[in-house]
């Protein structure tokens, strides 16, 4: 069964995915309480004032290994929320969110993990020997061993939660909703409203948005756009029908989840240091992970790749301007810049090569149907727990 289409066999009304996403977010926020409490206590005990406390102060006040453990703990809470949502809100199994195969293929997970782990480690070492002045030796055995335990236990949970949300849960959710006749309107609304929201965000202060300005603007825009389209009978037109058919394809949930995945990283310190151009990398990574999920009818390869990317990176090299500060082997002390090698080469060179390699190993065919094929609900939809 197709990876996206199997979601039609469970409770898949789109409101469930909205509520489910909110529940997962609440669990993740609850998981942040230990970090916030520990960081505030430490900050105050060091003589700091709560009034002067900011996010940067909180992120740097704790010992790096403890900081990493508490930050990653929220993802464990989020994963628990995901399991509850999938089981009780959708009447679905975690396996069916993972793959369309009869069982999860752990060999695929291991292959992608080891394959990308070796490559990313090799690239880091090559860069170290090519530009030794850009690094300092940061290895301390006792602290590294603690980092190793924390990273091995929790980083795969962090990366897996992100994959389950974007390449599994939401990929299937947005896939099923494309069959809804109102989806095309939602697409039009998003295309029109997003530039307006982005423009207004540059002209208003943060307090406006905290007071609900974002929701208010969306409601007003939604009413205006809907009434205009209704007045011109757009919803009954041939153009609307054609648009609906064009959007009812696999590439739509692929694009949507990749953009959301990239957007979730916009508050990372890397973006502040490198600029918004680095979003090309984050969105491109989302596209790559989404493509291998659709082509392989499961997210096992994405799970292994993402875990290796974050785990080996955290163990081997860190920098003062990255989101995770660790007692890694090396510390990058170079001044970062938006070079082609940092952003465009991974997205437009490395990832396409990896797609070719994975396609050869797993004998992928019918790319057009897998990536651009029509998403169709079964003739008879039966709500049941997938085996």
Please name the residue ranges forming H helices in 204-339.
206-210, 213-231, 238-247, 251-263, 269-274, 279-296, 300-316
| pLDDT of 202 | 64
∠ at Cα 203 (199, 205), nearest 5°? 125
Kindly tell me if the per-residue pLDDT of 374 is higher than 70.
yes
CA 333, 152, 159, 61 torsion-angle sign:
negative
CA-to-CA separations, 212 to 22, 28, 207, 209, 225, in angstroms, rounded: 17, 22, 9, 5, 20
pLDDT digits (tens, 9 = 90+) for 234-270: 988 999 999 999 999 999 999 999 999 998 887 777 7
Please state, for a pLDDT cut of 70, what percent of the chain lies above it: 89
C-alpha–C-alpha distance, residues 15 and 289, integer Å: 25
pLDDT digits (tens, 9 = 90+) for 51-66: 666 666 677 788 989 9
pLDDT value at position 46? Answer: 80
Strand 135-137: give its sheet, edge to edge.
Answer: 135-137, 330-332, 317-318
pLDDT band at residue 29, thresholds of 50, 70 and 90?
Answer: very high
Residue 249 has what DSSP assignment? B
- Segment holding 118, helix H or strand E: helix 106-130
- Containing 137, the helix (H) or strand (E) segment is strand 135-137
Q: Which residues contact 156 (CB under 8 A, 6 or more apart)?
A: 307, 311
Q: Give residue 354's pLDDT.
A: 97
Type and span of the H or E element at 317: strand 317-318
74 contacts 13 by C-beta, under 8 angstroms: no
Asked whether the beta carbons of 269 and 322 are under 8 A apart, the reply is: yes
- CA 200 to mean position of chain CA atoms: 26
Q: How many CA atoms lie within 13 A of 299 on its CB side?
A: 29
Site of tokens 């080469």: 345
| % pLDDT > 90, the chain | 66
Contact 285, 257 (CB under 8 A): no
Q: How far apart are CA 43 and CA 49, in angstroms?
A: 8
Rounded CA gap, 379 and 139, in Å? Answer: 60
Position 384 confidence tier, pLDDT thresholds 50, 70, 90: low
Q: Rounded mean pLDDT of 159-173? A: 97
* Band (334; pLDDT cuts 50, 70, 90): confident
- What are 293's two structure tokens? 């999920």
Region of 275 (left: φ > 0; alpha: ψ -120 to 50; beta: rest) is: left
């Amino acid at each position: 069964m197709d990876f996206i289409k199997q979601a039609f066999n469970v409770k898949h009304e789109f409101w469930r995915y909205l509520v489910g996403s909110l529940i997962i977010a609440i669990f993740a926020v609850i998981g942040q309480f230990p970090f916030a409490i520990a960081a505030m206590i430490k900050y105050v005990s060091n003589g700091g004032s709560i009034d002067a406390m900011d996010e940067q102060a909180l992120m740097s006040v704790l010992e790096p290994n403890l900081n990493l453990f508490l930050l990653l703990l929220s993802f464990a809470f989020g994963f628990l929320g995901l399991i509850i949502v999938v089981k009780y809100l959708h009447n679905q199994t975690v396996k069916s969110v993972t793959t369309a195969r009869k069982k999860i293929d752990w060999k695929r997970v291991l292959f992608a993990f080891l394959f990308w782990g070796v490559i990313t480690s090799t690239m880091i070492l090559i860069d170290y020997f090519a530009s030794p002045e850009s690094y300092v030796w940061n290895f301390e055995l006792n602290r590294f061993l603690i980092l190793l335990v924390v990273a091995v236990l929790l980083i795969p949970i962090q990366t897996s939660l992100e994959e389950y949300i974007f390449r599994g849960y939401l990929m299937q959710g947005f896939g099923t909703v494309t069959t809804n006749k109102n989806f095309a309107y939602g697409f039009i609304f998003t295309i029109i409203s997003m530039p307006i929201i982005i423009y207004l965000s540059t002209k208003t202060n943060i307090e406006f948005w905290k007071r609900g300005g974002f929701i208010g603007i969306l409601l007003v825009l939604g009413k205006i756009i809907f009434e205009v389209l209704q007045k011109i009978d757009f919803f009954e037109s041939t153009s609307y029908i054609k648009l609906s058919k064009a959007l009812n394809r696999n590439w739509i949930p692929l694009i949507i989840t990749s953009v959301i995945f990239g957007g979730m990283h916009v508050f990372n310190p890397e973006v502040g240091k490198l600029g918004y151009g680095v979003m090309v990398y984050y969105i491109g990574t989302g596209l790559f992970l989404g493509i291998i999920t659709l082509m392989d009818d499961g997210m096992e390869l994405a799970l292994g790749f993402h875990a290796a990317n974050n785990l080996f990176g955290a163990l081997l090299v860190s920098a003062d301007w990255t989101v995770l500060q660790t007692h890694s082997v090396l510390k990058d002390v170079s001044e970062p810049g938006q070079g082609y090698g940092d952003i465009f080469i991974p997205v437009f060179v490395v990832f396409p090569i990896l797609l070719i390699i994975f396609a050869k190993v797993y004998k992928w065919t019918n790319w057009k149907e897998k990536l651009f094929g029509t998403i169709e609900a079964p003739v008879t939809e039966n709500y049941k727990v997938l085996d």
